[in-house]
Amino acid sequence: MSDKLTEIMAWKRQEIASLLREVSLPELAAFNAMAPKPPSFAAALRRDDGKLAVIAEIKRRSPSAGAIAAGIAAPDQAVNYRAAGASALSILTDEKFFGGTLADLSSVTSFFREHRPAVPCLRKDFMVHPIQVLQAREAGASAILIIVRALTDEEIAKLFEAAKFAGLDTLFEIHTEAELERAVKHGAKIIGVNNRDLAIFKCDLGLSERLIPLFPKHVIAVSESGIFTGADAARVQAAGAHAILCGEALMKAPDTAALISEFRNR
C-alpha cells in the first residue's frame, strides 16, 4: 500500500471507530426490503449502443489535484451531469482528503427521487466495515467501492457480502495483476483499473491497456483516472473498457455535455 493510501486508510479507521457495531446480514436485507430501490449501477455501465458509459464524479478536491471545485453544491453538479448524459455518478463522501460528505450522497439521491429520472450513484469512499455499507444504502447509493490493495481478504469478503444483502453493486478497484486475481477470486462483477499510482500520484493509461484484457469476459471493466480527452477514452475503450470514471476533467470542463459526448463518440 502506498504511503498516502496508508495515511488515508489509517484516518478512515480512526474516523469511523466511534460508529462501529455489529451489522448483521439480516439487518441489511431487512433495510433493503424496506427502503426505496436504487437504480442499478451495473446495468447503467453495460450500454446497448456499444458506446462508453461515463461515471461522472463529484469531487471538490483531491490529494493529487488540490482544490478542484471547493464550493460546488452536490445536487447542482449531479443535475448538470445528468443533463450532460452521464450514465452514473461517483460521489466522494470522504471529507478530510476529498471535501465530500455522506450528506452530498443523500442530497443527490433524494433530489433524484423527487425529480426523475434517477441516475445510479456510487458511494466513493474508503470502505473498511459493513457499517459504511449500511450508511451507503441509507443514503440511497446504488453501489460501493472496494479498494483491493487497502484491505485484507477477510475485510473484502465481509464488505462484498454486506453489499449483496443491502442490494448494492460493488466496484472493485485494482492497480496490479495480483489485485486483479484477488478481485476475481472474490467474485467481482465490476472491476475498475485505477490508472493513478497512489504512491506517486502519476497516471498511466497503459495500466488499463495492460490489465483490462486480462479480465474475465463476464466482468464489467471500468477505467479510472487520467482520462481527459476523447483520445484518452478511445484508448481505454480499445483495451476493452465498458465505462470510464472521470472526475477532475468533468468538474473543470467549461462544457460538460461536450466532453461527455467526446468521450462517447471517439
List the catalytic residues. 57, 59, 124, 173, 194, 224-225
**Neighbour count for residue 190 (Cβ, 10 Å):** 23
- Cell representation of residue 46: 453495460
Which residue in 66, 92, 96, 98 sits closest to 77, CA to CA?
Answer: 92
Closest to 198 (Cα-Cα) out of 212, 179, 181? 179
What is the DSSP annotation of the chain? --HHHHHHHHHHHHHTGGG-----HHHHHHHHHHSPPPPPHHHHHS-TTSPPEEEEEE-SEETTTEES-TT--HHHHHHHHHHHT-SEEEEE--HHHH---HHHHHHHHHHHHHSSSP--EEEES---SHHHHHHHHHTT-SEEEEEGGGS-HHHHHHHHHHHHHTT-EEEEEESSHHHHHHHHHTT-SEEEEE-EETTTTEE-THHHHHHGGGS-TTSEEEEES---SHHHHHHHHHTT-SEEEE-HHHHH-S-HHHHHHHHH--
